[in-house]
A and B are shown apart, each in its own frame.
Chain A
Amino acid sequence: MSWNRSLTLLFPLILAAALSGCNVARLTINTPLTSDSVAFITEGRTTLADVIATLGAPDSMTDAEAGTLVTYRFLDAKYSRVNFGWLLKPWSPVDPDLIFSRSGLGTDAFELLCDNNWIVTHQAFVRHRPAPPFTPYPF
């Protein structure tokens, strides 16, 4: 058997062994909102009833000096992990671990300020949520 052919056969085995310690997980709380999904809101014109008809009920409503603060919260967290120690398992008397893992918490909130007539006067995202990647490389 040629060296090239051996490598061709060995490569899928190494890949499968490496992927054996592979985990990908995701946690989503509520439906993440984007600037497109809130584009219909016009400050000074849109009412809270219009917002609720499109986005649903908010997560919290609190008293503010200029009216009522309405908040929609959401989270999109991603986690990935690869254990390269699995590659050495067939040749090692112990269970070696070489783990690369990375988590990303894409948390954000969309806030609206409504006046006493339930008309939206201000709107903004709390953070500009960076979409976390599924990359286990932590460096």
Chain B
Amino acid sequence: MRRVSMLLAMMILTLNACAFSRGTLGDEIKTETVNLIKKGVTTRAEVLALLGAPDRLLQLNGRDLFQYYRYDAKVGSLLLIIANFSRASIKSDDLFVVIAREGTVEEVIASKRTEGLEFRFWPFGD
């Protein structure tokens, strides 16, 4: 108990400040919107109506590839009197829609990595 109190007192005495920062790039890609896209059914025009113009448009062996992305960055800083620790974590949500030659969706590839993104201070370890 005495040890815990000492540790707590040390932390309070040495804690100078802490900071939280966040930055995002792009619009959120909603899962319910992605679920509306059906392979072999949804057309190119419907994809554009649902999601807007893609962030990138590429060609894949004669097929169109629409790429949508969103980035989320979280930075936590622990500013102690004796040392400063900070950690920045960036993750992205990506959605790829492959449009077949006939104009319907051939493949939908999506994942939300930003859902598990946390504010972290400690730079060591994983």
Chain A residues at the B interface, C-beta cutoff of 8 Å: 16, 19-20, 22-31, 48, 52, 56-63, 67-68, 78, 116, 118, 134
Contacts A/B (CB < 8 Å), 12 sampled? A16-B82, A22-B82, A23-B84, A25-B88, A25-B123, A26-B123, A27-B89, A28-B87, A28-B88, A31-B91, A62-B60, A63-B61
CB pair A28 B83 closer than 8 Å: no
Where the two chains meet, the residues of B that have a C-beta atom closer than 8 Å to any C-beta of A are 58-61, 65, 67, 81-96, 107, 109-111, 113, 123-124
Separation of A68 and B109 alpha carbons in the complex (Å): 14
State whether A61 touches B65 (Cβ < 8 A): yes
The number of residue pairs between A and B whose CB atoms lie closer than 8 Å in the complex comes to 84
**Taking the nearest CB of chain A, how far is it from the CB of B78, in angstroms?**
10
Find chain B residues with CB under 8 A from A68 CB: 60-61
Contacts of B110 in A (CB 8 A): 57
Instruction: List, in ascending order, chain A residues with CB within 8 A of B111's CB.
Output: 52, 56-57
Instruction: Write out the residue numbers on chain B whose beta carbons fall within 8 Å of the beta carbon of A56.
Output: 94, 111, 113
Q: Which residue on A lies nearest to B86, using beta carbons?
A: A25
Nearest-CB residue, chain A, relative to B56: A60
| Partner among A24, A28, A52 whose Cβ is within 8 Å of the Cβ of B85 | A24
Cα separation A91 to B73 with both chains bound (whole Å)? 42
Whether the Cβ atoms of A61 and B58 lie closer than 8 Å is: yes
Cα A118 to Cα B94 in complex, Å, equals: 18
CB distance from B114 to the nearest CB of A (A): 10
Chain A min CB distance to B8 (Å): 19
Q: How far is the CB of B63 from chain A (nearest CB, A)?
A: 9
- B110: nearest residue on chain A (CB-CB)? A57
CA distance A57 to B90 in the complex (A): 15
19 further interface pairs, Cβ-Cβ under 8 Å (given A27-B88, A27-B90, A63-B59): A19-B82, A19-B83, A24-B83, A25-B86, A25-B88, A27-B87, A28-B87, A31-B113, A52-B109, A57-B94, A57-B95, A58-B94, A58-B109, A59-B92, A61-B58, A61-B60, A61-B65, A61-B96, A62-B60
